[in-house]
């Protein structure tokens, strides 16, 4: 039996991951979350007997250590974090506390014989872009805001624990991921929610800033393959989509697919945290996935077939 600890498991990406891991043969998932922004319904209670949920704050050593010593996980996916541009810029001190969680997971992982720690880093570590596409090894990191700095520090902790204690790791740098269970304050969910309710769609600045959008299934399949095939060991992989879309194009696509009468409403650009452009080099992700990524229009159609969370 393989036991896997997933932190932040009531969140968008980690809940999908926990559910997928629980479907692997002879695998048990210990799912922890402090429910600060998480929602237990994302773990589909009652439907996955191989998932056990424990309410726990990863940043509090006494909470998370009892989970490690009681369950002795073989692998850890450390995905818990304070997330979201607005939340992380409004509460930078909370964000910095996440460094404690990273240290706790690594100290406990090293002391209990964990085989590999997987860490959800972010495209934000590249900061305001210096080159495209953004490559895991050749593009310099340019982290300035606390959220990006914490992810960068996390990566440094993983490398250091590997060097000094031999604890294996994998860093995934996630670029925008979207899907039906994403929080309502992210751009895709926000636009769809507004369009379905016939409300104005709010755009910061002129909408010419581009984003790439990775459908949740592509993220999960690539990362689970890295785990199952023992790849990206002590290394980094960008996880995202490399097709660029402007925010205006996204809004237009959402309006088209929903047949909405919503109008676009422009606000002044955000003061910080809204990069003009991002675009990952995803050669590595493509190799992990072994198939084409899902186009944005198809992903939006899948969300529109399952709007329970967005409209909740
Ligand atoms: N979704 C994306 O596009 C994206 C992009 C880049 C990086 N990431 C990273 O992926 C991870 C998951 O992101 P998400 O979009 O699913 O966010 P999410 O907010 O839906 O999930 C994060 C979960 O972590 C929980 N949490 C926060 N602090 C905790 C703590 N101290 N102890 C226990 N649980 C805690 C929250 O309650 C929430 O359920 C995060 O680490 C995030 O930084 C996501």
- Ligand 1, residue 174: give the atom nearest the CA: 6
Cβ(19)–Cβ(42) below 8 Å: no
Average pLDDT, rounded, for the chain:
95
Q: How far is the CA of 82 from the centre of ligand 1 (A)?
A: 6
Q: pLDDT tens digit string along 190-210?
A: 999 999 999 999 999 999 988
Which tokens hold the place of 67? 């989970």
What is the arithmetic mean of pLDDT over 262-278? 82
Residue 167, φ and ψ in degrees, nearest 5: -80, 120
Q: How far is the CA of 284 from the centre of ligand 1 (A)?
A: 23
Residue among 266, 169, 149 at smallest CA distance from 227:
169
The whole-number pLDDT of residue 222 equals: 98
The whole-number pLDDT of residue 276 equals: 72
- Ligand 1, residue 177: give the atom nearest the CA: 3
The DSSP bridge partners found for residue 141 are none
Active-site annotation holds for 165: no
pLDDT at 6 over 90: yes
Probe target for ligand 1 pocket from 10, 12, 125, with the most ligand atoms within 8 Å of CB: 12
pLDDT at 41 over 80: yes
Cβ(204)–Cβ(248) below 8 Å: no
CA-atom Rg of the chain in angstroms: 19
pLDDT at 113 over 80: yes
Cβ(33)–Cβ(57) below 8 Å: no
State the CATH class of domain 2-176+214-239: alpha beta
The whole-number pLDDT of residue 129 equals: 81
The whole-number pLDDT of residue 273 equals: 59
Name the residue ranges covered by the structural domains of the chain: 2-176+214-239, 179-212+243-279+294-311
- Ligand 1, residue 35: give the atom nearest the CA: 37
Q: How far is the CA of 33 from the centre of ligand 1 (A)?
A: 9
pLDDT at 214 over 90: yes
What is the arithmetic mean of pLDDT over 92-107? 98
The whole-number pLDDT of residue 248 equals: 95
* Residue tagged active-site, from 79, 147, 178, 215: 147
Side-chain half-sphere exposure of 118, counting CA atoms within 13 A: 30
Q: How far is the CA of 296 from the centre of ligand 1 (A)?
A: 22
Helix (H, G, I), strand (E, B) or coil at 303: helix
State the CATH class of domain 179-212+243-279+294-311: alpha beta
What is the arithmetic mean of pLDDT over 49-73? 98
Alpha-carbon gap, residue 125 to 148, rounded angstroms: 5
As for ligand 1, residues whose beta carbon falls within 6 Å of it are: 7-8, 10-14, 32-38, 57-59, 79-83, 101, 120, 122, 174, 176-177, 183
The whole-number pLDDT of residue 270 equals: 79
Q: How far is the CA of 81 from the centre of ligand 1 (A)?
A: 4
Which tokens hold the place of 43? 């773990």
Q: pLDDT tens digit string along 242-267?
A: 999 999 999 999 999 999 999 999 99
Could you write out the DSSP letters of every residue in 143-209? --SHHHHHHHHHHHHHHHHHHHH---EEEEEE--EE-TTS-TTSHHHHHHHHHHHTPPEEEETTS--
């Amino acid at each position: 039996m393989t036991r896997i600890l997933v932190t932040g498991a009531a969140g968008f990406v980690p809940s999908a991951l926990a559910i997928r891991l629980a479907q692997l043969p002879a695998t048990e998932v210990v799912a922890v979350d402090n429910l600060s922004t998480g929602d237990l319904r994302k773990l589909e209670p009652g439907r996955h007997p191989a998932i056990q949920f424990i309410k726990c704050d990863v940043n509090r050593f006494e909470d998370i250590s009892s989970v490690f010593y009681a369950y002795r996980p073989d692998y850890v996916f450390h995905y818990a974090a304070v997330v979201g541009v607005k939340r992380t810029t409004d509460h930078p001190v909370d964000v910095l506390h996440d460094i404690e969680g990273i240290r706790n997971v690594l100290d406990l992982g090293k002391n209990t014989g964990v085989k590999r720690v997987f860490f959800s880093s972010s495209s934000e570590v590249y900061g305001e872009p210096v080159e495209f596409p953004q490559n895991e090894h050749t593009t310099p990191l340019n982290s300035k805001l606390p959220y990006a700095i914490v992810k960068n520090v996390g990566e440094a902790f993983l490398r250091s624990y590997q060097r000094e204690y031999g604890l294996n790791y994998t860093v995934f740098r996630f670029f925008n991921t979207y899907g039906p269970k994403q929080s309502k304050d992210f751009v895709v969910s926000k636009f769809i929610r507004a369009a379905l309710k016939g409300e104005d769609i709010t755009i910061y600045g002129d909408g010419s800033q581009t984003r790439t959008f990775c459908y949740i299934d592509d993220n999960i399949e690539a990362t689970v393959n890295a785990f199952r095939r023992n790849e990206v060991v002590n290394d980094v992989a960008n996880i995202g989509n490399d097709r660029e879309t402007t925010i205006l194009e996204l809004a237009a696509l959402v309006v088209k697919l929903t047949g909405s009468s919503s109008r676009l409403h422009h606000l002044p650009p955000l003061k910080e945290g809204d990069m003009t452009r991002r675009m990952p080099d995803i050669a590595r992700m493509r190799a992990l996935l072994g198939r084409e990524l899902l186009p944005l229009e198809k992903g939006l159609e899948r969300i529109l077939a399952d709007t329970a969370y967005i409209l909740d």
